[in-house]
Amino acid sequence: MHRKDQICHDDYQKTASWLLSQTQHRPKVAIICGSGLGMLADALKCQDSFPYSDIPGFPQSTVQGHASRLVFGELKGKTCVCMQGRFHMYEGHSLCKTTFPVRVFKLLGVETLIVTNAAGSLADSYQVGDIMIIKDHINFPGLAGLNPLNGPNDDKFGPRFPPMSGVYGKDLQKIAFDLCKSMDVSQFVQEGVYCMVGGPNFETIAEARLLHRLGVDAVGMSTAPEVVVATQCGMRVFGLSLITNKVVKSYDDTESVNHEAVLEVSKLRSQMLQTLVSQMDINNNAV
Ligand SMILES: O=P(O)(O)O[C@H]1O[C@H](CO)[C@@H](O)[C@H]1O
């Protein structure tokens, strides 16, 4: 029995079949653009694009800084599909809806998922504008039982109990590091642990201190559910966080974060991120 907010295999298949009937592109790579990072899709050549409102079964994005378009195209010889606008739990979507596109991508034939996000830094050595290559994540909602895999398991997508160790492929991280060296931007590049919190409020100082003590390097309100679903269905995953703000950890600090500032920094750094993503040689499996 499926609960009302659960989505069955046919629903994903209907959306995938509709998309395959509308475009000649057959993507192997999917890219999810974080807040203010929608211009990553601009690098795609020979674009076919679809507003989410035209795609059967697709949720709608409600957050400023997230256009609602799915863009297909070619990137350095790879066929890609790019989400200009992601879905967040705090928008009121169920986690199945939040991650709906990832399973649709699987049915389209996607093998690699690139996730990007805007995030606040806990790590003292990080600067606003840095790019963090995600080496692992802490899924706070997931640890508390809010997981997109909850409910009857659909074995066609993967196992009931998927392992999550080594989720962020080392090979893709190495490719990214090497590329950053050759782009001469290594000084802006970090490697660290991303933590998803539920949001939509930013962290209190006590929460920020807790995350810091737990070893979190950057915090945001997305990504983990998408990565869990992609991993369950066997996709390779690569993730990048753009550090848009330092999370306030001191009671003496009078600064506070806001979404407009997050979008401003995203805009400033999106070109570098676009170059990095578009130049990544995804097909190179060398570790
Ligand atoms: O994770 P993305 O979608 O990049 O967005 C981040 O930025 C927003 C807060 O400014 C939150 O939605 C947070 O998750």
Residue 49 lies in a domain: yes
Cα gap 178→33, rounded to integer Å: 22
Whose Cα sits closest to atom 10 in ligand 1? 259
Residue 270: which CATH number? 3.40.50.1580
Q: What 3-state class would DSSP assign to 97?
A: helix
What is the position in ligand 1's atom list of the atom closest to the CA of 263? 10
Residue 287 lies in a domain: no
The fraction of the chain above a pLDDT of 90, given in percent, is 79
Q: Which residues are annotated as a binding site for phosphate?
A: 35, 66, 86-88, 118, 222
Residue 236 lies in a domain: yes
Q: Which residues are annotated as a binding site?
A: 35, 66, 86-88, 118, 203, 222, 245
Tally of CB atoms within 10 A around 219:
26
Enclosing domain of residue 258: 9-279
Residue 24 lies in a domain: yes
Q: Does the predicted interface ipTM exceed a cut of 0.95?
A: yes
Asked whether the predicted pLDDT for residue 5 surpasses 90, the reply is no
Please check whether residue 123 is in contact with residue 192, taking contact to mean a CB–CB distance below 8 angstroms. Answer: yes
pTM: 0.95
How many domains would you assign to the chain?
1
Cα gap 237→244, rounded to integer Å: 22
* Residue that has been written with the tokens 């840095």 in this structure: 130
What confidence category does residue 55 fall into, taking pLDDT thresholds of 50, 70 and 90?
Answer: very high
Please check whether residue 242 is in contact with residue 273, taking contact to mean a CB–CB distance below 8 angstroms. Answer: yes
Asked whether the predicted pLDDT for residue 2 surpasses 90, the reply is no
Q: Rg of the chain over CA atoms, in angstroms?
A: 18
Whose Cα sits closest to atom 6 in ligand 1? 118
Amino acid at 203: E
The catalytic residue among 94, 121, 245, 270 is 245
